[in-house]
Amino acid sequence: MNKLIQGKVWKLGDDIDTDIIIPTQFLALQTIAEMKKFAFHPLRPELPGLLKPGDILVAGKNFGCGSSREQAPAILAALGVGCVIAKSYARIFYRNAFNNGLLLLESAGLPDVAKEGDTVTVDLETNGISLGDQHFEIMPVPDDLLQMVVAGGLVPFMRRLNAK
Amino acid sequence: MGMTMGEKILARASGKEAVKPGEIITARVDLCMTNDATTHISIDIFEKQLQVRKIFAPERVVFIIDHNVPSESVKTAEVQKKMRDFAREHRVNFYEGAGVCHQIMIEEFVSPGQLVVAADSHTCSYGGIGALGIGVGSTDFTAVMNTGEIWLMVPETLKFNIYGQFKKGVYARDLILKIIKDIGANGANYKIMEFGGPAIKDFTIDDRIVLCNMAVEAGAKSGLIEPDEKVVDYINARGRREMYLFKSDEDAVYEKVYDYDLAMLEPMVAKPHFVDNGCPVSEISDVKIDQGFIGSCNNGRIEELRVAARILKGRKIHPQVRLLVTPASKEVYLQALKEGLVDIFVASGAMVLNPNCSVCWGGCQGVIGEGETLISTGTRNFKGRAGHADSYVYLASAATVAASALTGKITDPRGWEHE
């Protein structure tokens, strides 16, 4: 996996719940490709149209709280989100994200400083983030989980392992 | 060093003498469950991606259609058909229209000391009868259904000691809203919330489920209460024999201990759009409501319906308010019919709906429009959760919802209950 991730920041607040990421009324859509157009619909309906592959979501505490719906991390991965950087995550969302190939990073400092439109650089080798001349630490992510992200999630990861 | 009951459940499930927080274990699950909100994803993974398409033990797998019942659209009908066909083909347990999944699990399947994994965040409800319920997503669920196993990190435990007695008009629902307000929406992130202390023995099974069910709203991995003779009687009465009555050791280690005196507790509401945005009802003035909802896996059981009926009896709901009453299961519905509660609701002007998740998840029944306000006994008040993105949900007890439905604005329920 490329250990350097650079992307444009889209800024979200605290307690972004999975009903915000994908509201109930869109869950019956048959594919993630259809569903992803409605990401963040109650809060920022324009966001899916603006997000470019590799962009980075920066949020406060408790990102992904609420419902266990796995469509939430799946559509963020499908939108090409490079990674999410938040102060903390809700536990069900955390597992679901890696299981769907979405990289989550924890940083206590960056979310208070980064502004929308900033460009940040994540270095998974040194577990740091750079924003201009400022540097922030991230919690290290175990290599297995990074491999899972590269594979696209738990199921493709296991298939790859089993094929060896 | 002693263990908490949660650690003991995880030790049993992983075949170990002891486990400690931070340790990662592979655990065998006793039961797993999934519902129509997300099962189609699990079925797709199972059918299209798994190399070995087997189910570890069909008799320990439960499929429940409860989120959109009856189906409200062709898309939902297709999702549900897929689930029905799969359940029949693979001979797993299947329920449809019989109630909210967690209520059915407690009525029909779960026993104390078991480890239950389900694809729904409110799986933590099973702590009310001393079982460890852990919510997961569709991929993890599929792996569990396939292998019967899951990797888990053993969490730290927070202890909540409850003292005293509820004052009139105050309920378990108010206690959990108060606790979540105090510790915050991620105050128990990743941890187990264990409720105990001298007052817990007076809590009914329904009350205990109310507390544990909302542990996830504080970010918890699960909620737990030590099973006592009330739980044993409940399980025995349902003909289930497998029970592991784990209790926390005297010297068990808790990350933090909180004390709550019920005598200090008032009726609570959680204001839009966060469950931890709570305050006493007495501090709310002049909030008009358009709709009330009594139901959900948190607060749609017989005891809550009885409380609502004691307030609504012989009265009419406000002409500008719709009140929805949705019993949590068929069993609860039949009991409410037998006790004449349904007559009281209908006579008051309420709509009594078939058991399902209803407007708590905003998928089918009773969704609200732009600018409208719902007062609900449901589990969440997130922005747009009950319908339009610009609508408002307040969470409160069945008593507060019933009293508010009568006056048309959020109302302190104390003094409204008939004896």
Q: What is the CATH number of the domain that holds A56?
A: 3.20.19.10
Minimum distance, in Å, between the CA of residue A97 and any CA atom of chain B:
9
* Minimal Cβ distance to A23: which of B75, B135, B384: B384
Q: Note the pLDDT of residue A116.
A: 97
pLDDT score of A160: 84
The nearest CA of chain A is from the CA of B282 a distance in Å of: 26
Q: How far is the alpha carbon of B179 from chain A, nearest alpha carbon, in Å?
A: 17
* Neighboring chain B residues of A75 at a CB cutoff of 8 Å: none
Among B279, B256, B283, B282, CA closest to B269:
B279
3-state secondary structure of B261: strand
Q: Number of structural domains, chain A?
A: 1
Q: What is the DSSP string of B159-175?
A: EEEEES-PPTT--HHHH
Ordered DSSP codes for B290-329: SEEEE-HHHH-SHHHHHHHHHHHTT----TT-EEEE--SB
d(CA A126, CA B65): 47
Select from B49, B136, B185 the Cβ nearest to the Cβ of A65.
Answer: B185
Q: Taking 80 as the threshold, does the pLDDT of residue A109 lie above it?
A: yes
**Amino acid B217: pLDDT:** 97
Residues of chain B with pLDDT under 70: none
- Domain of A36, in residue numbers: 4-163
Cβ B288 vs Cβ B373: under 8 Å: yes
Position A30 scores a pLDDT of 81
Residue B185 and residue A62: Cβ atoms within 8 Å? yes
DSSP symbols for B55-90: -S-GGGEEEEE-SSSS--SHHHHHHHHHHHHHHHHH
Give the residue from chain B lying closest to A157, CA to CA: B49
What ipTM score was computed for the predicted complex, to two decimals? Answer: 0.91
User: Containing H/E element for B27?
Assistant: strand B24-28
**How far, in Å, CA of B360 to CA of B299, rounded?**
11
Helix (H) or strand (E) holding A78: helix A71-78
Residue A19, min C-alpha distance to chain B (Å): 6
Q: Which domains does chain B have, with CATH numbers?
A: 5-260 (3.30.499.10), 269-407 (3.30.499.10)
Residue A28 has pLDDT above 90, yes or no: no
Closest CA to B60 of B149, B151, B153: B149
pLDDT of B396: 98
Chain B residue with minimum CA distance to A72 = B137
Q: Which residues of B touch A (CB under 8 A)?
A: 37-38, 41, 45, 49-51, 68, 73, 75-76, 78-79, 119-121, 135-140, 142-143, 185-186, 189-190, 216, 219, 221, 274, 361-363, 367, 380, 382-385, 389
